[in-house]
Amino acid sequence: MRKGRSWSLPLADRVLLVAAYGRTHLSLRQLAALFGVSKSAADRIIVHLGPALALQQRKRFRKDTVLIVDGTPVPTRDHTSAEQSRNHRYSTSHQVVIDADTRLVVAAGRPVPGNRNDCRAWELSGAKDAVGKTTVIAVGGYRGTGPVIPHRREKGRTELPAWKEEHNTSHRTVRARVEHVFARMKGWKILRGCRLKGDGVHHAMLGIARLHNLVLAG
């Protein structure tokens, strides 16, 4: 005998409801009407199933793996975990790590207040610990935290040697892949203004990361 309240939708439709919420970011009232359930039922489905669809972060990497890390802000209604960032909107900052070869998301740190710079967020979010000693490349803002960053001009010099400029060009070309991943992920409107409370924004990021991987992997 089943215990507890039964779901008003079969599992496939519940998954579709969560995916539709992430893609369109409709209000719960609109989503409930679309799926023929009550507003409270739609809310229960999102809260219950959202974490189950989250990305399972990879724990081991090949020795020759190269990762790319960068941070992206997510405007967040829940001000308990957000702060005003440079665009004056309350947001959380998310450190996302991708595989440079496959462009799959391999880790996403816990959200930190949007006024934290990437250097601090990299360590505070747990993303740095998640990748261990694997080679990671990043922008110059991660200086002194482990990732490989572009060469900088030495004091008193106006330009870099040619070989360093060549390295920087190659670095920019590869690192741009994480920006392409962000562009795809931000196609999910929930990452443009998340209304979920508590861990909701973290589960939303992990869920979209997993869906992104599923699309790339076919």
- Residue 29 and residue 127 share a domain: no
pTM above 0.85, yes or no: yes
> Could you tell me if residue 43 is inside a domain?
yes
In angstroms, the CA 39 to CA 32 distance is 5
- Residue 113 and residue 29 share a domain: no
- Residue 121 and residue 174 share a domain: yes
Pairing of strands 66-75, 135-137: parallel
- Residue 25 and residue 102 share a domain: no
- Residue 198 and residue 117 share a domain: yes
* Contact criterion met (CB below 8 Å) for 121 and 109: yes
- Residue 102 and residue 209 share a domain: yes
- Residue 16 and residue 85 share a domain: no
Q: What is the pLDDT of residues 161-209, one digit of tens each?
A: 899 999 999 999 999 999 999 999 999 999 999 999 889 999 999 999 9
Residue 45 belongs to domain spanning: 11-49
> Could you tell me if residue 135 is inside a domain?
yes
* Contact criterion met (CB below 8 Å) for 55 and 108: yes
- Residue 45 and residue 111 share a domain: no
- Residue 186 and residue 89 share a domain: yes
- Residue 132 and residue 189 share a domain: yes
What is the pLDDT tens value at each position of the chain, 218 positions in all?
455 567 889 999 999 999 999 999 999 999 999 999 999 999 999 999 999 999 988 888 988 999 999 999 999 998 888 888 776 789 999 999 999 999 999 999 999 999 999 999 999 999 999 999 999 999 999 999 999 999 988 776 778 889 999 999 999 999 999 999 999 999 999 999 999 988 999 999 999 999 999 999 87
* Contact criterion met (CB below 8 Å) for 85 and 73: yes
Residue-by-residue DSSP string for 177-209: HHHHHHHHHTTSGGGGSB---TTHHHHHHHHHH
- Residue 155 and residue 95 share a domain: yes
Q: What is the number of domains present in the chain?
A: 2
Q: What is the pLDDT of residues 170-183, one digit of tens each?
A: 999 999 999 999 99
69 pairs with which residues across the strands? 97
> Could you tell me if residue 59 is inside a domain?
no
> Could you tell me if residue 162 is inside a domain?
yes
Predicted pLDDT at 37: 94
Residue 199 burial class via C-beta count within 10 angstroms: exposed 0-12, middle 13-18, buried 19 and up: middle
Amino acid letter for position 169: T
- Residue 173 and residue 102 share a domain: yes
- Quick one: CA dihedral 63, 65, 70, 72, positive or negative? negative
